[in-house]
Chain A
Amino acid sequence: MMAKVEIKGIQELAKKLNRDLRIKLNILFRDKVLRENIGKIIVADIKDKVNFGQPSEATLKWRKRYDKTNTTDRAYSRGRLNAVFTGELMKDLASNVKGVPTISAFEVQNSDKLHKRYKGKNGSIGKRTPFSTISKHLIDDLGYDYLQLSKEAREDITNIIKKELYKLLR
């Protein structure tokens, strides 16, 4: 499950620049701070805006049982489904924005790292599962496509990218 943030117009802009600056443009896509900031905006928006409605009775029962034994994310709400429980999945998404300088884009997707086991009353439960597997299950099997982005968040990302471009090229 992958989404992309693609910068358009780089070629046109590059025509006005010399080759030294063009190399810098490729380095921009690896900028750790920029990638992290894009991830933060996306995840903050998902936590704030995504709402899949009320959980089923079975889910609610599970939540009642385990939200007492696990540290839940601040955006978690027992009565609202929004792809957040402990917040690990979103933390992973925010930290896994990768640059693809060859196509002037950033890829946004969960990594193959493993989610921690949940805590139960008598110790850990379940098995460690890759974030990418959890993501696929939520989106493909359950229909909870949390890769949503509001107009405001899109504007925020566009603005920080343009700001970084300006800083780089001035």
Chain B
Amino acid sequence: MAAVNQPKYSKREVSQKFNLKQLLGYEPSERQKDLFFELAVNKMVQRTAQGNDINGKKFTQYSKEYAQTKGVSRSAVDLILKGDMLDSNQKETKQKNILKIKVKEGVETLKSYNHNVGDKLPTRTYFGFKNEKDLSDVIDEVDSRKTAETSSPGALLRDLALLRQTINETVDVNFTGFDDGES
């Protein structure tokens, strides 16, 4: 198989296979497989949450009625209502060096299929990666953990005081289109 297989979109399965041995140039450890899964899914979810499809293009706008119901602008397409579909990606490692990312079987797969191929909805292909190049940063990160211990993601958040401090230090709010009322 190729290092990055084309995504599979069917009503029974939405998935994509990755040959980590080919991508890394050596046999991956279990820890690296886990990390690859976490980072690749994060990248896909992040891309979707920002309104971009597998090709990096903006999703088709929501209908006026749906946007109104959802409370967002028509262009703010993120395929997130409750977040169940984007949160339903699973890892499968039946073959030694192959990792498969697949959407949870059942309702989530059907929803994902409908979005990806535009079966009953406008086509919004969010699942998967086009090629190896799209995953270069993920591969670099996984490769860099060849020997190093991976830290637990979100470990920082266990400390609530630190969380509050992190939000205060990291997040800011910009106001555009408002006059300051002092001119």
Which A residues are within 8 Å of any B CB, using their own CB? 1-10, 12-14, 16-27, 29-30, 32, 35, 49-50, 98-103, 107-108, 145, 147-151, 154, 157-158, 161-162, 165-166, 169-170
Contacts and interface: CB of A to CB of B under 8 A. Distances in A.
B116 to A, nearest CB: 18
The 7 closest A-B pairs by CB, nearest first: A3-B177, A102-B51, A23-B83, A148-B181, A149-B178, A158-B173, A9-B171
A100 B76 contact: yes
B121 interface: no
Given A3-B176, A20-B87, A10 B46 contact: no
B86 A17 contact: no
Nearest to A10: B171
Interface string B137-173: 0000000000000000110110010011011101111
Nearest to B58: A102
B71 A8 contact: no
Among A26, A147, A149, A165: residue with most chain B CB under 10 A: A26
Contact of A23 (B86, B164, B172): B86
Contact of B177 (A2, A8, A157): A2
Nearest to B42: A19
9 contacts: A9-B171, A16-B154, A16-B156, A22-B49, A26-B83, A27-B83, A148-B181, A166-B164, A166-B167
Interface in B70-116: 70-73, 75-78, 80, 82-83, 86-87
Contacts of B181: 49-50, 148-150
Tier of interface size on chain B? 35 or more
B179 interface: yes
B26 interface: no
A23 B179 contact: no
Contact of A7 (B78, B173, B176, B177): B173
B41 A4 contact: no
Given A99-B72, A148-B178, A169-B167, 10 more contacts: A2-B177, A4-B176, A5-B175, A8-B172, A16-B156, A147-B179, A149-B175, A149-B180, A154-B175, A166-B163
Nearest to A50: B181
Given A18-B154, A98-B73, A151 B180 contact: yes
Nearest to A31: B71
